[in-house]
Structure 1
């Protein structure tokens, strides 16, 4: 049996971000969750688009689910555990579940990337920032 599919035009979706009082701990990031079972006919996979403005970052955090980033545009630095990696357009990053990670835009243009989780819904993901996040290295 083939699962139902859904076509989503991301430009029809609104950008989301954290509340201003949350940005100190979490960073200045904008995102659109494109595929998620709470929004689309889908299962087993969540896909979204995120943007980090120049000089800003998605601060160190963890979540139970494994995740993949794919850099669409821009340059930055990926921190995965205690390791630091330069990233640019075309870079793919795999983060195992509960891995401490963050992403900083080091360029002069927005850093745009896809994020993918192996879970039904974005609502299944609980982010742990700062004091809630613990290094597993």
Structure 2
């Protein structure tokens, strides 16, 4: 199971447990309607972006049908409908020669059919195959840096076939997923130390993002080194642990609960808790809080 699917499954189980604890009220009609609206708006924003890419490519093809190659200079004009920020039109010949590339004019004329993304995905060939397919159009996803950046981001590009005289061209335009959907990765987390050899990274916390996500839960990635422990404390809110690796013991009101890979444990609100790594490897787990973790909700106890 991928990390994303694992997180979604864990989050779903955690929310169900938090509902049972009374922290989340699913029968609140007003709140339910607000949550539904948030989901609809997020979906519509992504759907709108896909529709905009398709519309832009179709409009570019209409201009090509009207002007032929004389349309190409218009696609290069910055701050125009064709090129602004990280949105632009790219045109290739069917054999893989890039003839319009607004972000980097020096890249025009290059043979790009063998382009691969940062994971080795042959998206150059995929562009061509998509455009030359029976449908003549489609979407291709791959990892590519945004203009001016070096690290790759997930990009979705709409590709469509057109012709000028007897020459076949590919017209495409794409968008970066993380401009519209929040994502994170365990490998990218910066962990900080607590309780000695215990390290915590915020996989998700609404206060650490630059997006208006309209949610109030948090997911922390916790690592406890062998033989080490999290000291006794209480959370005013319920908490859910989901174990990723290792073995240990979680004490809830001094009652031991064994931890092992795949184990999920619900910790009631205002319960004294501590966690110990009893194994020989790192104990790793997700700690899920709703509402999102806050210093004021935590109290250290003897």
TM-score of the two chains, using structure 1 as the length reference: 0.81
Q: How many residues align?
A: 123
- Do residues 44 (structure 1) and 216 (structure 2) align? yes
Pick from 47, 70, 75: which aligns with 2:242? Answer: 70
1:62-82 CA distances to partner (integer Å, 9 max, x unpaired)? 011110000110001110113
Report the structure, 1 or 2, having the larger strand content.
1
Unmatched 5+ residue regions in structure 1? Answer: 132-137
Q: Does the 8 Å CA contact 1:65/1:125 hold for their aligned counterparts?
A: no
Kindly report which structure 2 residues correspond to 1:40-119, keeping only aligned pairs within 5 A, or say none: 40=209, 41=211, 42=213, 43-119=215-291
Partner of 1:135: none
Q: Between 6-15 and 62-71, report the one with greater CA deviation.
A: 6-15
Residue 31 (1) aligns with residue 200 (2): yes
Higher relative contact order (CA 8 A, sep 6+): 1
Structure 1 segments (4+ residues) deviating >6 Å: none
Do 2:228 and 2:277's aligned partners in 1 also have CA atoms closer than 8 Å?
yes
**Aligned counterpart, 1:15:** 191
Q: Tell me, what secondary structure is at the counterpart of 1:30? A: strand
Q: Mark the runs of 5 or more structure 2 residues left unpaired by the alignment.
A: 1-36, 43-180
Q: For residues 124 and 89 of structure 1, what CA distance do their matches in structure 2 show?
A: 28
Please tell me whether the aligned partners of residues 72 and 89 of structure 1 are also in contact (alpha carbons under 8 angstroms): yes
Cα distance, 1:34 vs. partner?
1.4
Query: Larger helix proportion, structure 1 or 2?
Result: 2
SS in 1 for 2:193: coil
TM-score by length of 2: 0.38
Q: Is the 8 A contact 2:272 2:301 kept in 1?
A: no
Q: How many angstroms does 1:109 deviate by?
A: 0.2
Distance 1:59 1:95, change over 3 A: same
